[in-house]
Amino acid sequence: FATMHKRLVDLLPETRDRLAKIRRGHGNKVLGPITVEQIIGGMRGIKGLLTQTSRLDAFKGIKFRGLSLPECQIRLPSVRREPIPEAMFYLLITGEVPSNDEAEDLKKDIAERAQTFPNYVEKIVNSLSKDLHPMSQLSIGVLALQNESEFAQAIRRGEKRGNLWQSALEDSLNLISRIPKLAAMIYVNKYRDGKLGEIRENADLSENFCRMMGYHDEKFWELMRLYLTIHCDHEGGNVSAHTTHLVGSALSDPYLSYSAGLNGLAGPLHGLANQECLRFILGMKEAIGESPSEIDIEKYLKDTLAKGFVIPGYGHAVLRVTDPRFVCQMEFAQRYMPNDVLCKLVASLYKVAPRVLKDLGKVSNPYPNVDAHSGALLTHFGMTEYDFYTVLFGVSRAIGVCASFVWSRALALPIIRPASVTMENLEEFVRKT
């Protein structure tokens, strides 16, 4: 990773200087008001975090270091059509599109690190009950890797704050290279015969991840590249990124921080929606058949809502349009599997669900999010074990939150400690205004 490391060293003084200038010259300026509704309503729209790696626009969707998803697909080094995950990490860390050589250099480094998976973690993961949810297993595995943390050692020996980004980067590269094996172990232990597939020295992270899980179809490796690209980062306020950032601000190392982030990702309103979507599509197929009419779908959705359930894969806390991450999965489906029954059902649902949700009159965004499509694509290639899907999300999200972690330490961001108010405080405020 020598080239990426060198680039980061070059970028540091200039980036630190930019932030210092903003702080010195404009620290007192007001960026926006905070309403009572925002305090009660999950801090929606409050700009309170500094995240370098990506920015989410409510109408245009995610931009990774200023590049939209389609731009990443075109510009980042790729195998076949989709970017390799290593290239995405390079982009998120440096803000620059790597050359093929630069991406290759990082790919080699990550592949080498993947070979050094600690034995004791293997033993811990292999000893876990198969009944334990794969996300709990992943979080335990990442926590167990913490014994390897160079960041924790640097803290113990009193390393200067300004230098901590170096060990943060080391830990991040180790975590990103080892988490696919951890996830693959969980997969083969829970759903297969416990034996990991062989990996290739020259393969990218996606191909080797799929090989370890026992998938040998090149199109599946390509789907995994797409999956790992679109789930890696979604600016700083989502639960998994925010949690990782919050825990990291206490100078907990990347393993402690990301294990906490994974626990947030495992929530049904966040990453777990991934598995719920496929369950929903399968339930719908069971109830109204493989090619239902729009009227049948509408009735099914209304019945679901009447029972008090949400429509998984629809809605978003920030987005107000169809998620571009949904769109590129739909394009993948149209390109490779135009006749797939589940993908067709996803497309039919997309024609009806926004209208039904709009009619409720309370849903801020009635359009599909990233989770609405992935299950149907994975099922097409034989990955039907939907309670594993959020683990794939977890493998991908490590790329974004680790890049942010490195920058948070490089910029020596302080411990996060917002203030809270009591209901009496709010009532007093309301009386006075």
Q: Which is nearer to ligand CMX, 181 or 397 (CB)?
A: 397
From 122-130, 169-177, 326-334, 360-368, give the range in contact with ligand CMX by CB under 6 A: 360-368
Q: Closest residue to ligand CMX, Cβ-based? A: 315
Q: Which one of residues 363, 376, 383, 406 is an interface residue with ligand CMX (CB under 6 A)?
A: 363
Q: Is 67 helix (H, G, I), strand (E, B) or coil?
A: strand
Q: Which is nearer to ligand CMX, 311 or 410 (CB)?
A: 311
Is 270 in the active site? Answer: yes
**Which residue among the candidates 231, 234, 242, 316 is catalytic per the annotation?**
316
Q: Is 195 helix (H, G, I), strand (E, B) or coil?
A: coil
Q: Which is nearer to ligand CMX, 176 or 372 (CB)?
A: 372
Q: Which is nearer to ligand CMX, 149 or 238 (CB)?
A: 238
Phi, psi of 56 (to 5 degrees): -105, 125
The Cα-based distances of 427 to 35, 41, 46, 333, 366 in angstroms read: 14, 16, 21, 52, 33
Distance of CA 337 to the CA centre of its chain: 25
Does 231 interact with ligand CMX (rule: CB under 6 A)? Answer: no
Return the structure tokens found at 315: 């809605």
Q: Which one of residues 56, 69, 317, 402 is an interface residue with ligand CMX (CB under 6 A)?
A: 317
From 81-89, 169-177, 308-316, 416-424, give the range in contact with ligand CMX by CB under 6 A: 308-316
User: Nearest 10 degrees: CA dihedral of 171, 172, 177, 179?
Assistant: 90
Q: Which one of residues 316, 373, 380, 397 is an interface residue with ligand CMX (CB under 6 A)?
A: 316
Minimum separation from the CB atom of position 149 to ligand CMX (A):
27
Q: Which is nearer to ligand CMX, 238 or 259 (CB)?
A: 238
Number of residues lying near ligand CMX (CB under 6 A): 22
Is 234 in the active site? Answer: no
Binding mask 163-192 for ligand CMX (x = CB under 6 A): ------------------------------
Return the structure tokens found at 242: 């925010």
The angle at the Cα of 198, spanning 332 to 218, to the nearest 5 degrees, equals 20
Q: Which one of residues 83, 98, 264, 312 is an interface residue with ligand CMX (CB under 6 A)?
A: 312
Minimum separation from the CB atom of position 240 to ligand CMX (A):
8
Phi, psi of 268 (to 5 degrees): -65, -25
Is 217 in the active site? Answer: no
From 121-129, 250-258, 315-323, 383-391, give the range in contact with ligand CMX by CB under 6 A: 315-323
Name the nearest CA neighbour of 172 among 258, 254, 108: 254
Minimum separation from the CB atom of position 236 to ligand CMX (A):
13
Q: Which is nearer to ligand CMX, 185 or 232 (CB)?
A: 232
Residues 6+ apart with CB under 8 A from 419: none
Residues 6+ apart with CB under 8 A from 6: none
Q: Which one of residues 126, 364, 384, 425 is an interface residue with ligand CMX (CB under 6 A)?
A: 364
Q: Which helix (H) or strand (E) holds 410?
A: helix 389-410
Does 43 interact with ligand CMX (rule: CB under 6 A)? Answer: no
Q: Which one of residues 310, 347, 412, 413 is an interface residue with ligand CMX (CB under 6 A)?
A: 310
Q: Which is nearer to ligand CMX, 36 or 74 (CB)?
A: 36
Does 371 interact with ligand CMX (rule: CB under 6 A)? Answer: yes
Strands of 75-192 (E only): list them: 78-79, 82-83
Q: Which one of residues 270, 373, 380, 397 is an interface residue with ligand CMX (CB under 6 A)?
A: 270
Residue 428: HSE in the Cβ half-sphere, 13 Å Cα cutoff: 5
**Which residue among the candidates 204, 231, 371, 380 is catalytic per the annotation?**
371
Radius of gyration of the chain (CA): 22
Q: Which is nearer to ligand CMX, 138 or 169 (CB)?
A: 138
**Which residue among the candidates 270, 323, 373, 380 is catalytic per the annotation?**
270
Distant-in-sequence contacts of 206-213, Cβ < 8 A, 24+ apart: 206/79, 206/84, 206/85, 207/79, 208/111, 208/114, 208/180, 209/180, 209/183, 209/184, 209/395, 212/180, 212/181, 212/184, 212/185, 212/188, 213/183, 213/184, 213/187, 213/188, 213/383
Under a CB-based contact definition with an 8 Å cutoff, are residues 298 and 351 in contact? no
Residues acting as catalytic residues:
270, 316, 371
User: Which positions touch ligand CMX (CB under 6 A)?
Assistant: 238, 269-271, 273, 305, 310-317, 357, 362-365, 369-371
